[in-house]
Amino acid sequence: MKKKLLSAAVMAALGLAALSANAADTELNLYSARHYQTDEALYSNFTKLTGIKINRIEAKEDELLERVRNEGANSPADVFITVDASRLAKADEAGIFAPVKSKVLEERIPAHLRAPNWFSYSTRARLIVYNKDLVKGEQVQTYESLADPALKGKVCTRSGSHPYNLSLGAALIQHDGAAKTEEWAKGVVANFARAPKGGDTDQIKAVAEGECGVAIVNSYYLARLMNSEKADDQKLAGRIVAVWPNQQSWGTHINISGAGMLKHAPHKEAAVKFLEYLASDEAQAYFANGNNEWPVVPGVKVSNRALDRLGPFKADTLPVGELANTAAEAQRIFDRAGFR
């Protein structure tokens, strides 16, 4: 798939054209915990547009955070990018980010999808998927319904300690309260078809094959199967039904990919321009078309068959930066409930 460079109008709006003439900003050091091959074009387009070379180091979030801390004021890192709001909040709490003042980012990224020191660039939803031969659709329209005793022996999920589930637990605490969330977690554990294991694609397979009746999964895993050219992937996707949970209450829980500028960034101007580039229409469309995520910038047009088929939904507007406030409590609740 060919990717378009930013249009001249967008370049002017973002102030990117000036970058290529700035000799001080000929490179950008990116620490990335996003492990998607499809991001290559996203980064190469920035280089083609600005002349700024991206030097990228990829590793797991904890490894990169430890590296930044050890490097201290001598760190060469300009930007840290990762997935999951709680991970970004953890990085922020470690004091590695510098505040960014950008009219472009404030105008393009909705307030609930940014924090003072970092910004969301794409969203993914926490879906419910079910096997229509084992579960009725009306039984699984909310996250809370997964604790209903009628689903005993039918629920599958990945580990309760995974950030995807912890962020959902954190959101449940803020919407329903800690006591109800703990009751919910105990009910979900009582309904397990098997002990939590595997990733989200494994949950989809287990539901499709009838090992489970229902599971919680991130939307882009399902969209990836739906867009796959492999017959087996298409069959898996065709055997399950997806539900947007909590459409009659607070909306479907979403999480994000995001980034921030590092406190000791040696190329601060390039870092800000890179963050602004990620909020451009072209880059936003790439998140959707390249990795089956939704843009955070309203009105960006995307062309993704699976996302179109999944259709519109009401998303939770809880500020993503606040998820970290109850993530640790969610972990304690899950541990007490046996959700490990």
35 annotated among ligand-binding-site residues: yes
3-state SS string over the chain?
Answer: CCCCCCCHHHHHHHCCHHHHHCCCCCEEEEEECCCCCCHHHHHHHHHHHHCCEEEEEECCHHHHHHHHHHHHHHCCCCEEEEECHHHHHHHHHCCCECCCCCHHHHHHCCHHHEECCEEEEEEEEEEEEECCCCCCHHHCCCCHHHHCHHHCCCEECCCCCCHHHHHHHHHHHHHHCHHHHHHHHHHHHHCECCCCCCCHHHHHHHHHCCCCCEEEEEHHHHHHHHHCCCHHHHHHHHCCEEECCCCCCCCECEEEEEEEEECCCCCHHHHHHHHHHHCCHHHHHHHHHHHCCEECCCCCCCCCHHHHHHCCCCECCCCHHHCHHHHHHHHHHHHHHCCC
220 annotated among ligand-binding-site residues: yes
43 annotated among ligand-binding-site residues: no
Which burial class, exposed, middle or buried, applies to 230 when counting CB atoms under 10 A from its CB (0-12, 13-18, 19+)? exposed
**Closest alpha carbon to 326 in 91, 167, 142:** 167
Annotated binding site: 35, 220-221
Annotated binding site for Fe cation: 35, 220-221
